[in-house]
Amino acid sequence: MEPAINASAGTREVHMRIGELAGRTGVSERSLRYYEEQGLLVAGRTPGGHRDYPDHAVDRVVLIQELFAAGLHSTKIAELLPCMRDADGGPSALATPRLVADLTAERDRIDRMIGDLVRSREVLDEVIETASGRAGLPAG
């Protein structure tokens, strides 16, 4: 897609349509439209009405995916995104104490899950060692 000229800054910005953004991020076009509906992603429009995304939308989509993977739902992500670094490098808002508490609780939940997974791996290691007849044998 052709770069657009940012008249106020006099710079050229690279824009892309939804298919290119989907290809660059590995996220379906349907998901990108959902992100826009939920207020997670902003798309401009071409004169023909097609969605038009700036280059930094790739980073935004990756971040949204990471937040979903961390267990957050779209309403929480929409609340959180303004508090994170944006294309200009700084947040446009500060998190409310309630949001910080919710995020801390989510992080604690993830920490508990990690601990459970580590314990499960240790049990499996023991079972593998015993089942393979290596239990009690010298290493080497």
> Which tens digit of pLDDT belongs to each residue from 64-97?
999 999 889 999 999 988 888 766 666 777 888 9
Confidence label for 63 from pLDDT (cuts 50, 70 and 90): very high
Are 67 and 104 members of one domain?
Answer: no
- Cα separations (Å) of 74 from 9, 31, 61? 33, 12, 12
Domain count, the chain: 2
Count CB neighbours of 114 within 10 A: 10
Q: Are residues 13 and 33 in the same domain?
A: yes
Write down the pTM of the prediction. Answer: 0.70
pLDDT category at 1 given cuts 50, 70, 90 is very low
The CATH number of residue 13's host domain is 1.10.1660.10
CB 31 within 8 A of CB 40: no
**Is residue 20 predicted with pLDDT exceeding 60?**
yes
88: containing domain: 4-93
Please state, in angstroms and rounded to a whole number, the distance separating the CA atoms of residues 128 and 59. 41
62 plus 39 within the same structural domain: yes
- Do 89 and 33 have their domain in common? yes
Quote the percentage of the chain above a pLDDT of 90.
56
Q: Are residues 71 and 135 in the same domain?
A: no
pLDDT in tens, 119-130: 999 999 999 999
